[in-house]
Amino acid sequence: MTTSALRVIVIGAGLGGLALAQGLRRDGIDVSVHERDASPTSRRQGYRLRLNPDGLHALEELLPPPLSHLVWAATSPQPPTVILDARLDQLSATDPGASADGGRNVAVNRLTLRQILLHGLDDIVHFGKECTGYRIHADSTVTAHFRDGSQATGDVLVAADGVNSAVRRQYLPHARVMDTGVRVIYGRFPLTPETTGLIPDRLFTLYTGIVGPDHQHVGLAPVQYRNPPSDAVARLAPTLDLADTEDYMMCLFSARTELLPHTDAELHRASGQQLRDMAAGITRGWNPLLGSIIALWEPESVFSLTIRSSVPLTPWPTSTVTLLGDAIHAMSPAVGVGANTALRDALTLATQLGKAARGADLVSSLHAYEADMTAYGFDAVRTSARYGQQRIGQAPLPDPTS
């Protein structure tokens, strides 16, 4: 099989799917990406990510050099994670997901990273394409079907469509995604001289976790650029128009559902102001500084999310359909490695598909990817669940022997 003969269909234009597409295009492989959302900004998914050595290495390998250099220029270096109690006394200063190379753990604006990953892919990324299922043909090619009646056929179908993956539901109907029992309210506010002056320097860490009673949790995570991102864009990708390039503080409040004064339906309907007020009310007895910080949250930025986790699976027979990221190993945010694991998937899969494009057996190459991915991916799920129990009170993963 020549490089140009392999056709890959990616379902989902999240970070993992786009990174995979960049790597395949760089290797000369025919790839198309199909995303259900109408645009990159039509749904809020969070504001800030930690990139660890796995994620940074994947981006360096998958992206053309100007874009990988731009990713680094758009990151924000921070000291290690700090965990405090509700009085703001330090409990620990450890980061269970960090490597010994502390300089290779940085913060990045999720939207900025996605914009960089989209750059140069305009002709192959198709928005408004909700995948409803697929069909594997006798010759092992795969056709993806979309709600608008269109379809796409290729040699490989990659499910990168997140925790609600339609492909996974059809392909691995026995795969379980559990509700951890935790809800998170996310918000943010700009870091101006005025707002920065209200926050002690010791809270400007890679991530500051503040643990209250019954595993209630407030998190603070700044994005502060080394240099204006516009300077790097002008030098490395002058046709890219980056949005949202000002310094800001990402904030969150999490609690178990039974500790919240609202049902899930009420949380979903609540305005940003109502969600902010709820977080402020629940934490009123904590250090008064927290109330001042929560009051800074921009109401239009505040939204709630249900925290879910995949339940690790035993291996399945490999075919020309495979999965990456949250579509197969969604995990608690307690360690902050979900996005990095998806990027690692993208590099591992791109490497194996490159081998197949150059003549290796396709299914054997996909099997090698799945063996690696399920090992490190489900290890990350288990680690995240363990720290999630300790830090935010999430329900434990089911006993695999039960």
- 178-192 average pLDDT score: 97
Give the model's pLDDT for residue 97.
45
pLDDT category of residue 101 using cuts at 50, 70 and 90: very low
Q: Please check the confidence at residue 189 and state whether its pLDDT lies above 70.
A: yes
- 229-252 average pLDDT score: 92
Q: Please check the confidence at residue 95 and state whether its pLDDT lies above 60.
A: no
The pTM (predicted TM-score) of the whole model is: 0.94
Give the model's pLDDT for residue 169.
98
pLDDT category of residue 402 using cuts at 50, 70 and 90: low
DSSP one-letter string for 238-297: TT------S-EEEEEEEEEGGGSSS-HHHHHH--HHHHHHHHHHHTTTS-HHHHHHHTTS
**Per-chain mean pLDDT for the chain:** 93
Give the model's pLDDT for residue 81.
86
Strands in 321-323's sheet, in edge-to-edge order, are 125-127, 30-35, 7-11, 156-159, 321-323
Which of 9-13, 16-20, 106-110 shows the lowest mean pLDDT across its residues? 106-110
Q: Please check the confidence at residue 1 and state whether its pLDDT lies above 70.
A: no
pLDDT category of residue 41 using cuts at 50, 70 and 90: confident
Q: Please check the confidence at residue 4 and state whether its pLDDT lies above 80.
A: no
Terminal C-alpha separation, the chain: 45
pLDDT category of residue 94 using cuts at 50, 70 and 90: low
Count of alpha carbons within 13 Å of 269, Cβ hemisphere only? 5
Q: Quote the domain boundaries for residue 387.
A: 3-392
284 domain residue, yes or no: yes
397 domain residue, yes or no: no
Residues contacting residue 17 through CB under 8 Å, at least 6 positions apart: 10, 11, 33, 35, 158, 160, 161, 324, 325, 346
Which amino acid belongs to residue 132?
T
Residues contacting residue 33 through CB under 8 Å, at least 6 positions apart: 10, 12, 13, 17, 18, 21, 121, 124, 125, 126
User: 329-353, pLDDT tens digit by residue?
Assistant: 999 998 889 999 999 999 999 999 9
* Distance of alpha carbon 45 from alpha carbon 43, whole angstroms: 6
208 domain residue, yes or no: yes
Q: What burial class does residue 60 get, using C-beta atoms within 10 Å of its C-beta: 0-12 exposed, 13-18 middle, 19+ buried?
A: middle
Residues contacting residue 265 through CB under 8 Å, at least 6 positions apart: none
Number of domains observed in the structure of the chain: 1
400 domain residue, yes or no: no
Q: Are 299 and 139 in contact (CB under 8 A)?
A: no
Q: What is the CATH number of the domain that holds 355?
A: 3.50.50.60
pLDDT above 90: percentage of residues in the chain: 85
Give the model's pLDDT for residue 99.
47
pLDDT category of residue 273 using cuts at 50, 70 and 90: very high
Give the model's pLDDT for residue 45.
66
Q: Are 97 and 336 in contact (CB under 8 A)?
A: yes
Asked whether the CA dihedral 164, 165, 166, 171 is positive or negative, the reply is negative
401 domain residue, yes or no: no
365 domain residue, yes or no: yes
